[in-house]
Structure 1
Amino acid sequence: MEFGIIEILKLIGALGFFIYGMKIMSEGIQKAAGSGMRKILSTMTKNRYMGVLTGFLVTCLVQSSSASTVMAVSFVNAGLLSLVESAGIMLGANIGTTITGWLVAVLGFKVKMAAMALPLLAFGVPMMFMKKNRTKSIGQFIVGFAILFWGLSELKHSVPDIKNSPEILHFLGDYAHTGFLSNIFFIIVGTILTIVVQSSSASMALTQTLCFSGIIPFEVAAAMILGENIGTTITAELASLPANVHAKRSARIHSMFNIVGVSWAVLLITFTPALDGVRAIAMNWLGSADPMTAEGAPMGLAIFHTAFNVVNVGIMIWFVPLLVKLAIKSVKSKGEADEEYHLEYISTGIMSTPEMSIMEAQKEIAKFGEVVKRMNGFLKSLIITTDSKEISKTLARVKKYEDITDRIEVDVADYLAKVAEGEMSENSSIRVRGMLRIIGNLERMGDIYYQMSKGIERKNEQKVYFTPEQREKLLNMFELVETALENMVKNLDGHYEDISLTKATELENSINAYRKTIRKEHFESVERGDYNFQSATVYSELFNSLEKIGDHTINVTEGVTGEH
């Protein structure tokens, strides 16, 4: 059999079929998990050990270590994770990605899953048209599962027939003598394969298929799998390119972790009988065929892949602080602009599914709320500060933060629009609409604070001063608004499903009541002539503006809860 362009296209198409099935299956299980998925992500990293567990769980759901590591890089870039916490996620992701190898080994080669694909589709497709979102998502998972193994079956049939293509064996025989240089060569092959495919799970399945077909021996496949562990780091490195220095360091930690692991592993498989240990586990513990044979190779590779990653995590988790130090030394900061956390991490791209994309947006919106809360502190300081230099510095800071709120709103809105272009569950669609409402209110709050600062600036230029009573009442109102903002930020950073409007409503009512009180007192003071017209005008603008801020805080929480 000649292996020409048509056969190559069939092989690529079968691999694409497999990857598409994996994507559909992943999206289905994440939609079914719903809020549970978001809770896992939002409470992920109390320490590096919890980070490992979280990285493992998320990667099992997403079926892509690249997605998990890109997510970690994004969160580091946004200032939501430390380098140590992100390292834990990446360690766990390396273990989680081994699950696909086990699925392929157990079901793809031992069970005729392709024959079950059509019956599975008969169950899954009707479920996708049901009314209940959870049923739809489970149906999507079943359809993806069927397509994945259908693709694997096509992959097995698309690889060259070695009986009629002895030149393939001859070519590999020139390189596959299992020496050290041979292993290095096939590690490079595995790395390039994963970079091209952009999925370590898919390249792992392809390696198992090649081994099962007798095209490559088990020893060569083991070296390729080591290379695939290096190849999967490229995605995180690419994702960090437009990000800040912290994200670049996070990606570098992932690369160092895998490169160090592959370095000791290649020495182990070259100079020790480590692969004989894999044979023993497969044959004596699991009752599988000899991994050195075509029949037993897929199971042997799954064992080797898992054993390597578990041992590597067990070793490297103790060296996370050292990896962090090396990352900081190897990736130098370009100055304050590079150190500053910013929103550009969104340019790392949409995550693999709407659930993860929404989680990223929620984290960024929580940071948006913090920015607005800080502006309240800046304005409060302008009321009590008398030093002209300090006032000028604070006014410039308010202007800078107002520009930041404008940019965040545009960037997050663009990001959410891209998320909305994909297929989403009804709950995710409601969540995106709520988030768009939230960022609109937060941006408007930034505008109001900026206008307040301009009013104070005019007051200072005109040498107009507040009376002690005016200053005291304004500071009291700033305190009430500060409390409302703190509650708002807490709601933005919490589980949206668990948030109640009760406290936010109480705080907003207290702001309205206090504004009503000081407004009445203000009119009485004006009538008595207690302060001049200019002072009265600025004072009135400020407490009315603060009341508007209170209105926007309740609007934000309504966006969180989905109420109108």
Structure 2
Amino acid sequence: MDINYQEMIFQFIGGLGIFLFGIKYMGDGLQSVAGDRLKDILDRFTTNPFMGVLAGLLVTVLIQSSSGTTALTVGLVSAGFMTLRQAIGVIMGANIGTTVTAFIIGIDIGAYSLPIIALGSILIFFFKNIKITSIGQVVFGFGTLFFGLELMSGGMKPLRSLEVFQDLTVSMANNPILGVVIGTIFTIIVQSSSATIGILQELFSQNALTLDAALPVLFGDNIGTTITAVLASIGTSIAARRAAFVHVLFNLFGTVIFLIILIPFTSFITFLQNALNLNPEMTIAFAHGTFNVTNTIIQFPFIFALAWLVTKLIPGEDEFIDTKPQHLNSMLIEHSPGIALGQAKKELKRMSDFSVTGLNEAFQFLKTSDKKHSEHALQYEKGINNLDKKITNYLLDISAKSLSVKERDEFSNIADAIRDIERIGDHMENVVELVDYKINKKVCLSTDEITELNEMYDLTISTLKTAYTAFFDNNAALAKNVISYEEKIDKMERVLRKQHIMRLNEGKCSGDAGIVFVDIISNLERIADHSVNIAESIINPESKNYLHSD
């Protein structure tokens, strides 16, 4: 039998590309339907490891990617929104959630893939409603997934007649570790366990692989999918790297366990296939689901041990920054709204501390170019954004209650200060991005520029700290000092701009260095403006007009 290798390869890689596009497009559509609730699900419903498993399962079903959920989890750990132990539960749940794709493939509706794609296209192109368009994305991606599978299936059919492939199949059946290695490498290349398991389902349905050979490859697919989380953790905090490594350990341990019980596991899957009259694709789906559910049940009691082990394997100080609210007790709102307002102010104090520490980290990044400082600064900025949302929602609940005139003034001051601190966090992030630009473009600032930036930074941080002290101590004298400091900073910015233009004209400074220098002093000047906004509420609450807002 003559085999057209070009047609076989083109059909396979084209089908694989369409399949991956279908999964991605379907996941994007589901994410769009879910809105911003995915991070909220992970943030709110991971109070204990069991809830973490459920949250990880749900989010993975919604985005159709365990790698995506794990990468999202790594980001939350890095930002200080989640502890390592909470993350382990989410990762376990993500491994169960990813089996849904295999069950979808097991339904075997490839013959209807083109009409499904047509229906998705109609929903996307003929409706203006965003919700309907997002549903159209899901439907289109669903159909594309099966169309890609059909193409891959056609490309893989000639494999059965290849002697090399037959020998490889026999080798994998006799040597399960070889199957694990092949599954791992292929999934690392494709970076989607859903795709490689889909291919495995097609090969098994065509009798190109026996169950003995297919199951070790399935285990390897689960190991290979961890590469995405590992890549997402590169250059992040120690806690995030530990979370990514837990994903690797979890699947490695699971594979070792199932290789030990491979013969009884194979017999069990064969029993399920016969008892439930499963088609070949669904047989692999059940094997995939059984592997991940059982692996989670076995390892769930050892979450503390996994956390301990990964801490030993990746040593170092856990630089976890707790950015969750610590003082917002909702019970107080109902019974003591005045006390609840005081709790909101305590949380605002933490928010202000984040801005000072984060700005310090941003300038340490400028001085040292050490990425550790940029990571910390961005963690604090995310913490500021998180507290901004939480305190604002808390204040909205308080506003529905009866407050005295004095409490109303306090409420207004806190609400206004939240806005200013959030903007200070944005300017802090801008400084980090400018230093990143400086490093990536290999921009060198002169000694004069560094000295001038440090001088302006020292005055700005002093102004900011004074504004916060004045606000939280209700000290009008200090608040007046903030206004005089801010005037000095305005004057300093104008002088530094003129000196910088002179350097440019004299050829002492490059254009890129000019961009970095001017934009940093501009951000510092705006931070001082927001400091004045905060201080003015103490001097004369009625006169606040926010001329300094940006």
TM-score scaled by length of structure 2:
0.64
Q: Would the alpha carbon gap of residues 38 and 4 (structure 1) be closer, same or farther in structure 2, given more than 3 Å must change?
A: same
**How far 1:539 sits from its partner (Å)?**
11
Per the TM alignment, residue 154 of structure 1 is displaced from its structure 2 partner at its CA by 0.9
| Alignment partners' CA distance in 2, 1:128 and 1:63 | 20
Aligned to 1:430: none
The residue identity in structure 2 corresponding to 1:24 is Y
| Alignment match of 1:248 (pick from 241, 249, 252) | 241
The alpha-carbon deviation at position 244 of structure 1 amounts to: 1.9
Task: Name the residue aligned to 2:277.
Answer: 287
* Residues 131, 398 of structure 1: alpha-carbon distance in 2 compared, 3 angstrom cutoff: closer
Q: Does 1:194 align with 2:187?
A: yes
Letter in 2 for 1:251: A
Q: How does 1:500-511 map to 2 (within 5 A)?
A: none
Find the counterpart in structure 1 of residue 306 from structure 2. Answer: 323
Cα-to-partner distance string for 1:235-263 (whole Å, 9 max, x where unaligned): 21222221121112111211111111100
Are 1:186 and 1:227, in contact at CA under 8 Å, matched by a contact in 2?
A: yes
Is 1:45 matched up with 2:30? no
Deviations 1:261-294 (A, max 9, x none): 1001011114xx322222222322x232xxxxxx
Partner of 1:120: 116
Matched pairs, number: 406
Alignment of 1:313-392 (within 5 A): 313-333=296-316, 339=319, 373-374=352-353
Q: Deviations over 1:183-242 (max 9, x none)?
A: 111111111111111000100000111111121111111110011111111221222221
Secondary structure of 2:3's aligned partner = coil
Matches within 5 A, 1:420-431: none
- Residues in 2 aligned to 1:60 and 1:131: alpha-carbon distance in whole angstroms: 26
Range moving further from structure 2, 133-142 or 228-237 = 228-237
Aligned to 1:150: 147
Amino acid at match of 1:171: D
For residues 480-534 of structure 1, what are the alpha-carbon distances to aligned partners after superposition, in whole Å with 9 as ceiling and x for unaligned? Answer: 6xxxxxxxxxxxxxxxxxxxxxxxxxxxxxxxxx97xx79x98xxxxxxxxxxx9
1:175 aligns with 2:150: no
Contact 2:57 2:93 in 1 (8 A): yes
Counterpart residue identity of residue 8, structure 1:
I
Once the two structures are superposed, the pairs formed by residues 7-86 of structure 1 within 5 Å of their partners are 7-86=8-87
What is the CA-CA distance between 1:298 and the residue it aligns to? 1.6
Q: Is the 1:70–1:235 Cα contact (8 Å) retained in structure 2?
A: yes
CA distance in 2, matches of 1:43, 1:144: 29
C-alpha spacing 1:229/1:451, structure 2 compared with 1 (3 Å): same
State the TM-score, normalized to the length of structure 1. 0.63
CA contact (8 A) 2:12 2:155 kept: yes
* Cα displacement (A) at 1:121: 2.9
Q: Aligned partners of 2:420 and 2:482: how far apart in 1?
A: 35
Tell me how far 1:30 sits from its aligned partner.
1.4
CA RMSD of aligned residues (A): 4.2
Q: Which residue of 2 aligns with 1:303?
A: 286
Q: Which letter does structure 1 place at the counterpart of 2:533?
A: K
User: Higher relative contact order at CA 8 Å, sep ≥6: structure 1 or structure 2?
Assistant: 1
**8 Å Cα contact 1:375-1:401 kept in structure 2:** no
Equivalent position amino acid for 1:222 in 2: L
Distance between the aligned counterparts of 1:370 and 1:29, measured in 2?
38
Equivalent residue in structure 1 for 2:268, among 277, 291, 300: 277
User: Which deviations, in whole Å up to 9, do the C-alpha atoms of 1:333-381 show, x marking residues without a partner?
Assistant: 2x6xx847699xxxxxxxxxxxxxxxxxxxxxxxxx98861067x7xxx
How far apart, in 2, do the equivalents of 1:453 and 1:40 lie? 36
